[in-house]
């Protein structure tokens, strides 16, 4: 018996061990499940509430919010106070983290939550002074507009207080270990100033021109200017400012934040009333830069989009009118070379006298580090931005004068435009929209179509002055005010029956004022004009098709030239195959064809050869590079840049060889199986997705989608040359027939900022294929949320 018990003992111990292991495993499994459930519940409770009832402190009457199937909130209020307060609450409920990061980026306070990694960026934005400009702007707003800003901020703060109390802030705040502070009217205006920054104004191109004139033979440098200057401006402050060092940490907006808009007279439409279309081209990210809303009260019924963090509707329509914008791209930024007093570095020369600059203390708080004492220096022209106002290596620095750094009143313009009923009232509102300068197109139910290049556009002595930094010590280099409002380029009801803009040159040579030296390549505008000129009985569907048009007029111009130049060249079999494919191409950048892949990569390789001697940090300042490349190719062997690379045929032959070799390595040797969409794919990245693959898994839920189009087609889809990822394009698409009480819109990738929301990425596929959703001004179905006064 004892022997049997002894034999059974190891078995019992093994069973007990298994039972213990199983119990431990079960306990861990239960803990994991409970943790998952808790985490899931914690994350999900920050999803925006769109049904039921919410009590809000400060409301006068109940507000109804209908959220339709596309996540668009339709807000109906009895008065303006409740309308804007509800708008602030609803925006924050859906986009609070985006709003928080936007105001921090624009204000130069990212380091408070991000840490040392964003210090240089914060220094740049502190130096630029967008928040200081917003504060100055607030002082000139009317009391009525200040009330709207405060009502909106009250709504945002109602959400913040509620979310903090219920521990339901978006999970991103937990990840960065921060909470949002109270929202203020200045925050909304600062975000508006940031959008002016994002739309640029060519200071970086002036710095680039300065660099090439200092470092290249003059005739060779002039070929890189946006046009060949007749008077050939001389180098000022030669060699005194090291551009490469001075601007190495500057934040440069996308090279051309272009857009399309057009309006068609009822004489050319099936409905007999005007059609209008707009698709602003900005960075593509999650969440979208735009938030679509419909605002309704006894005095207003307006639908469209707004930047998260700002009240009103900036682009869209009401019951009587519709409007859209593109970037005019005028020379509204001017670099000045400033001479410092060697004995008093905060004094600068002006008209033979030393002037004391303004010194602004801008201490920067840094997460997990000591605060940084930082000073900004402002001359009479603006902030010293070379080396971000730090001690210069010499006695010369560069300052920036920019219209957006002045006190401006864009929000007042938006509020007036939202309630305008005809062109006269709309144009009156535009007089207050000063920065950034925009191409506005207009359509009215009364049949009027119109256009105005609107905003503060400086008057230069001549256009060549805006090519380079100017001597800050000479009064003759000062701007001479702004183009008078009544003399800004304006078109009303043209005989051709349409008006279109695509960041192209907007004024003829006999226009009395200088607007810009740098324009977008003309291909998008030319294609839009080509279609609208021929069109009759045009419909909404025709407008949608034109927004998605992938015709490449750059290729239509240059491929025949390339083929002719290489006709007798000694080429490899692979090069001949590539040229044969291009000769059979219809010049559309469709995703399933090999030709767009060959052509665009070929153009990239051409630029790599031509600009090989320019340092990488200078290429970042080379705004409008595509325009310059086109001109060099048109000049052919007459261009110094092409001659120094052994002539046009050799440039094309060498670049084609590199193109074919690289593409063969990436996509295989069977050229006809290559696809533009295998390289050219759209992705809407969340700002935190780059921190780790785990966050990328959650925040970038969808895989990249192959798409057609390119930077030169109406369906604009600019991409990162290294990855092929489309990161810049139509951030919003909008089409309206003014005969209808509805519009057709698309916000990519979706309305919501929460990655668990059904509206987070639901429009990403629609963006790729050109599907739109209908938004009505009258009755709307959806989920109903009642905001009620907390008495």
| CA gap 5, 649 in Å, rounded | 95
752 vs 770: CA distance, rounded Å:
20
**Euclidean distance between CA atoms 259 and 715, whole angstroms:** 10
How far is residue 153 from each of residues 182, 183, 195, 564, measured CA to CA in Å?
A: 8, 5, 19, 62
**Do the beta carbons of residue 758 and residue 26 sit within 8 Å?**
no
Question: Residue 54, Cα to own-chain centre: how many angstroms?
Answer: 34
Q: For helices 595-610 and 573-583, what crossing angle results, to 10°?
A: 120
Backbone angles phi, psi at 309, to 5 degrees: 110, 0
Residue 272 tokens, joined: 């007999």
Q: What is the 3-state secondary structure (H, E, C) of 95-146?
A: HHHHHHHHHHHHHCCCHHHHCHHHHHHHHHHHHHCHHHHHHHHHCCCCHHHH
Strand partners, 400: 335
Q: What's the CA gap between 626 and 610, in Å, rounded?
A: 12
Of 316, 272, 274, the closest CA to residue 296 belongs to 316
DSSP state of 266: G
Which helix (DSSP H) or strand (DSSP E) does residue 204 occupy? Answer: helix 203-215
Residues in Cβ contact with 778 at an 8 Å cutoff, skipping those fewer than 6 apart? 741
Q: What is the H or E stretch that residue 307 is in?
A: strand 300-307
Integer Cα distance of 346 and 136 in angstroms: 23
The token pair at 716 is 């604009």
- In contact, 591 and 674? CB cutoff 8 Å: no
For the record, the structure tokens of 789 come out as: 């006064």
The whole-angstrom separation of Cα 572 and Cα 638 is 27
Concerning whether 259 is annotated as a catalytic residue, the answer is: yes
User: Of all helices (H) and strands (E), which one includes residue 602?
Assistant: helix 595-610
Is 766 assigned a ligand-binding role in the annotation?
no
CB 34 within 8 A of CB 766: no
Q: Report how far apart, in Å, the C-alpha atoms of 19 and of each of 8, 23, 25, 27, 368 are.
A: 16, 6, 10, 12, 47
DSSP H helix total and E strand total for the chain: 25, 28
Q: Could you list the beta-strand ranges (E) of 71-189.
A: 73-76
Half-sphere exposure of 250 (CA within 13 A, CB side): 29
CA distances from 5 to 1, 2, 20, 539 (A): 6, 5, 22, 92
Q: How far is CA 259 from CA 3, 246, 552, 691, in A?
A: 91, 31, 16, 31
Alpha-carbon distance of 268 to 459, in angstroms, equals 37
Spatial separation of the C-alpha atoms in residues 771 and 572, rounded to whole Å: 43
Q: Would you call the peptide bond into 760 cis, given omega within 30 degrees of 0 as the criterion?
A: no
Measure the CA–CA gap between 629 and 627, rounded to whole angstroms.
6
Please provide residue 707's backbone torsions phi and psi, each rounded to the nearest 5 degrees: -140, 160
- Among the options 246, 259, 296, 689, which is catalytic? 259
Q: Identify the burial level of 233 via C-beta atoms within 10 angstroms of its C-beta, where 0-12 means exposed, 13-18 middle and 19 or more buried.
A: middle
Give the whole-angstrom CA distance, residue 342 versus residue 348.
Answer: 9
Phi-psi region of 316 (alpha: psi -120 to 50; beta: other; left: phi over 0): left
Catalytic residue IDs: 259
Q: Per the annotation, where are the binding residues for Ca(2+)?
A: 331
Q: Per the annotation, where are the binding residues?
A: 331
């Amino acid at each position: 018996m004892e022997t049997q018990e002894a034999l059974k003992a190891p078995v019992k111990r093994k069973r007990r061990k298994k039972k213990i292991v199983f119990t431990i495993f079960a306990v861990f499994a239960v803990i994991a499940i409970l943790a998952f459930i808790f985490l899931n519940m914690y994350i999900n409770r920050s999803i925006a509430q769109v049904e039921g009832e919410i009590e809000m402190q400060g409301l006068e009457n109940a507000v109804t919010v209908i959220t339709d199937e596309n996540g668009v909130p339709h807000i109906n209020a009895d008065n303006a106070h409740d309308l804007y307060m509800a708008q602030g609450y609803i925006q924050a409920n859906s986009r609070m983290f985006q709003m928080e990061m936007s105001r921090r980026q624009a204000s130069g306070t990212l380091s408070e939550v991000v840490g040392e990694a964003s210090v240089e960026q914060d220094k740049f934005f502190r130096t630029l002074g967008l928040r200081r400009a917003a504060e100055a702007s607030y002082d000139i707003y009317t009391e009525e507009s200040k009330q709207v800003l405060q009502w909106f901020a009250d709504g945002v703060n109602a959400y913040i207080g509620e979310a903090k109390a219920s521990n339901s802030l978006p999970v991103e705040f937990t990840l960065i270990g921060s909470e949002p502070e109270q929202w203020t009217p200045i925050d909304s205006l600062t975000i508006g100033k940031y959008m002016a920054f994002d739309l640029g104004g060519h200071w970086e191109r002036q710095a680039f021109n300065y660099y090439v004139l200092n470092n290249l033979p003059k005739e060779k440098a002039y070929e890189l200017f946006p046009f060949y200057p007749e008077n050939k401006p001389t180098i000022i402050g030669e060699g005194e400012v090291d551009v490469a060092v001075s601007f190495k940490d500057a934040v440069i907006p996308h090279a051309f934040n272009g857009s399309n808009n057009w309006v068609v007279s009822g004489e050319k439409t099936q409905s007999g009333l005007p059609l209008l279309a707009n698709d602003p081209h900005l960075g593509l990210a999650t969440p979208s830069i735009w938030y679509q809303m419909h605002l309704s009260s006894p005095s207003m019924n307006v639908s469209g989009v707004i930047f998260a963090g700002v009240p009103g509707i900036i682009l869209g329509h009401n019951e009587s009118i519709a409007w859209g914008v593109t970037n005019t791209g005028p020379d509204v930024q001017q670099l000045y070379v400033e001479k410092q007093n060697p004995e008093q570095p905060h004094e600068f020369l002006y008209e033979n006298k030393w002037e004391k600059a303004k010194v602004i203390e801008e201490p920067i708080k840094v997460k997990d580090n000591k605060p940084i004492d930082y000073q900004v220096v402002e001359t009479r022209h603006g902030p010293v931005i070379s080396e971000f106002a730090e001690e210069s290596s010499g006695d010369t620095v560069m300052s920036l004068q920019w219209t957006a750094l002045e006190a401006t009143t864009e929000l007042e313009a938006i509020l007036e435009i939202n309630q305008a009923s005809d062109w006269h009232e709309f144009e009156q509102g535009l007089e207050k929209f000063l920065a950034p300068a925009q191409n506005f197109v207009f359509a009215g139910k009364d049949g009027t179509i119109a256009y105005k290049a609107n905003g503060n556009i400086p008057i230069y002595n001549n256009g060549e002055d805006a090519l380079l930094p100017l001597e800050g010590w000479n009064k003759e280099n000062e701007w001479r005010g702004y183009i008078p409002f009544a003399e800004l380029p304006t078109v009303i009801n043209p005989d051709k029956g349409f008006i279109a803009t695509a960041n192209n040159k907007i004024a003829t040579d006999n226009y009395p004022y200088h607007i810009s030296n740098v324009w977008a390549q003309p291909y998008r505008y030319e294609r839009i004009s080509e279609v609208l000129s021929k069109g009759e009985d045009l419909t909404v569907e025709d407008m949608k098709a034109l927004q998605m048009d992938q015709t490449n007029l750059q290729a239509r111009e240059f491929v025949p030239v390339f083929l002719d130049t290489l006709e007798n060249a000694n080429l490899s079999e692979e090069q001949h195959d590539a040229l044969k494919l291009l000769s059979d191409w219809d010049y559309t950048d469709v995703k399933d064809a090999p030709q767009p892949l060959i052509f665009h990569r070929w153009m990239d390789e051409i630029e790599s050869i031509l600009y090989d001697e320019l340092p990488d940090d200078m290429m970042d300042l080379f705004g409008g590079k595509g325009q310059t490349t086109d001109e060099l190719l048109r000049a052919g062997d007459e261009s110094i840049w092409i001659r120094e690379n052994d002539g046009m045929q050799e440039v094309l032959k060498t670049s084609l060889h590199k193109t074919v070799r690289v593409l063969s390595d990436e996509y295989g040797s069977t050229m006809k199986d290559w696809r533009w969409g295998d390289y050219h794919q759209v992705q809407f990245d969340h700002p935190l997705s780059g921190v780790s693959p785990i966050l990328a898994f959650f925040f970038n839920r969808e895989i990249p989608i192959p798409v057609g189009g390119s930077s030169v087609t109406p369906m604009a889809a600019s991409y990162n040359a290294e990855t092929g990822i489309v990161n810049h394009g139509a951030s919003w698409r909008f089409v309206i027939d003014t005969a209808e009480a509805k519009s057709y819109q698309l916000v990519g990738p979706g309305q919501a900022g929460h990655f668990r929301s059904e509206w987070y990425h639901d429009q990403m596929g629609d963006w790729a294929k050109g599907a739109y959703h209908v938004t009505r001004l009258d009755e709307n179905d959806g989920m109903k949320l009642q905001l009620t006064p907390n008495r």
